Amino acid sequence: MLTRFFYTLREAGVPASVTEYLTLLEALKQGCANYSVDDFYFLARATLVKDEKHFDRFDKAFAQHFKGIEQAFDFLQRELPEEWLRKLAERHFTPEEMAKIEALGGLDKLLETLKQRLEEQKGRHEGGNKWIGTGGTSPFGHGGYNPEGIRIGGPGGQKKAVKVWERREFRNLDDGLELGTRNIKVALRKLRRFAREGAADQFDIDGTISATARNAGLLDLRFQPERHNALKILLFLDVGGSMESHVRVCEELFSAARSEFKHLEYFYFHNFIYESVWKDSRRRHGERTSMFDILRKYPPDYRVIFVGDASMSPYEIMQPGGSIEHWNDEAGAVWMQRLTQRFHRHAWLNPEPEDRWDYIQSIGIARQLLADRMYPLTLRGLDDAIKALKA
């Protein structure tokens, strides 16, 4: 039963390993989770899932696999002697509640009704006010609100025990949407390419020792240039219009990139690349940089990153004069081709969620122009983009 569960997890994309599975079995053998689904759920999660972003997948797989199996746990409890249930009830209830139960016919009556219901009930049950199950107001089952309820499923619940995995509280943590400056920096760090260039102004200990030894012990000082990230980046950022809602994530990307790369040049554009871009949004109509200058000035070892949602009318890419701001003699697509030909290593980061891309025609066109090098602006997308830029 558990081996199947293990494979269900793996199919659901939870990267659990055999070692972890064995640990879980060992923990079960040692009696860490005693016949309660909740305990088992917590134990399995602590053992098999090592990243909170996989919690939601785990919850879904757990619900899928254990649907119905919970009844088996209930079934186990059915075999319990009456004495045990009575003890349990005594422990659960405050004196006032006990008094209430007495008013309703006493514990004996409650237990009797419970037995009757257990016999009547056929399937798993949720909600409602009669059957045994979860989340209802029936006196039996767990997670209910009836003051005289008996928790079927063993002791251990400390509050309303709606099944934890059905709440799916970790949904938001899935898939690295949480893009802080720090995360972006860590991701961008993979783009480092260290090199020693420029003036030799750092003391080189290894070189000095080696040279001194060769020099029969007479000191021979050596210097070397400082090591720094030699990667060069050209960043094109879409501003205004539909990008307004993505300002924050772009800000973060930009500030992380600024501190990470020594050679970073950035330009702004609106919707798509045309014959000129600008550096200062306040003076965007006055001080523009011609695209021909960019093509000439920066050598082809620069990596080009576009950031934009690429959501516009297809004319803005395909037609001369299609730009919504000015008259462009040549279509955006032509300019894009010139850029990608000059700079082989390029990528487009799109803050628009990936599952919406197929519904926006202009995104499809842009992807074609970029030979499919468009990546969502999430940590995973950033990783993929960096791989493409490094290649």
Partner 1 sequence: MSQTRNPSAPSSKFEGTERYVATEDLMMAVNAAVTLARPLLVKGEPGTGKTQLAEEIARALDKPLYRWHVKSTTKAQHGLYEYDAVSRLRDSQLGDAKVHDIGNYIIPGRLWEAFRSERQAVLLIDEIDKADIEFPNDLLLELDRMEFYVHETRELVRAERRPIVIITSNNEKELPDAFLRRCFFHFIRFPDVETMTRIIGVHYPELKRELLAEALNAFYKLREVPGLKKKPSTSELLDWIKLLLAEDIPPEALRTDDPRKSLPPLYGALLKNEQDVHLFEQLIFLQRRQSRQ
360 binds partner 1 per the rule CB under 8 A = no
Placement of tokens 């090591």 in the chain: 227
Q: Which residues of 11-40 are buried (b: 16+ CB within 10 A; e: fewer)?
A: ebebebeeebbeebeeebeeeebeebbbbb
32 binds partner 1 per the rule CB under 8 A = yes
Out of 7, 43, 117, 289, name the contact with partner 1 by CB under 8 A. Answer: 43
C-alpha to C-alpha distances, 119 to 78, 114, 142, 370, nearest whole angstrom: 10, 9, 18, 66
Task: Select 34 or 129, whichever has its Cβ closest to partner 1.
Answer: 34
Task: Select 110 or 187, whichever has its Cβ closest to partner 1.
Answer: 187
Where does 211-345 show beta strands of DSSP type E?
A: 223-229, 232-238, 263-269, 276-278, 288-290, 303-307
Specify the stretch interacting with partner 1 by CB under 8 A; choose among 46-54, 231-239, 262-270, 330-338: 46-54
C-alpha to C-alpha distances, 109 to 86, 129, 139, nearest whole angstrom: 12, 17, 12
Out of 164, 211, 230, 295, name the contact with partner 1 by CB under 8 A. Answer: 164
147 binds partner 1 per the rule CB under 8 A = no
Bridge partners, residue 229, by sequence: 194
Distance CA 308, CA 366 (A): 11
Distance CA 64, CA 354 (A): 26
13 binds partner 1 per the rule CB under 8 A = no
171 binds partner 1 per the rule CB under 8 A = no
**Taking the complex as a whole, how short is the minimal distance between the CB of residue 29 and partner 1, in angstroms?**
10
DSSP label of 357: G
**Taking the complex as a whole, how short is the minimal distance between the CB of residue 316 and partner 1, in angstroms?**
30
Out of 11, 13, 51, 205, name the contact with partner 1 by CB under 8 A. Answer: 51
List contacts with partner 1 (CB under 8 A).
15, 17, 19-20, 23, 26-27, 30, 32-33, 38-39, 42-43, 45-47, 49-52, 55, 91-92, 155-159, 164, 169-170, 182, 186, 248
